[in-house]
Amino acid sequence: MPRQSISFTHPNDEWLKDQVDSKEYSSKSEVVNDLIRQARKQQVQIDWIRAKLEKAEKSGFTSNTKQEILAQSKSGFNE
């Protein structure tokens, strides 16, 4: 696994220490890797929403109800 050397502000370092001290994580590296995984997952969701919005803008108006649009969006989000 590649190693990196990074610097943290004091408050961020304290927060990382707290996460390890609380036994939530076994190391600061584990915390940082989990945060990166979460950010990557969030970016996938943002990209999905952005693509849906762009598609919707190009498609024009719909006669679907709010409930139908919401149901379609929820069913497609987990794909």
Distance CA 65, CA 11 (A): 48
CA atoms of 67 and 64, how far apart (whole Å): 8
pLDDT digits (tens, 9 = 90+) for 33-46: 999 999 999 999 99
Q: What is the pLDDT of residue 63?
A: 85
Question: For the chain, what are the domain ranges?
Answer: 10-77
- pTM (two decimals): 0.66
- The tokens describing 23, both together, are 């036994």
In this prediction, residue 73 carries a pLDDT of: 79
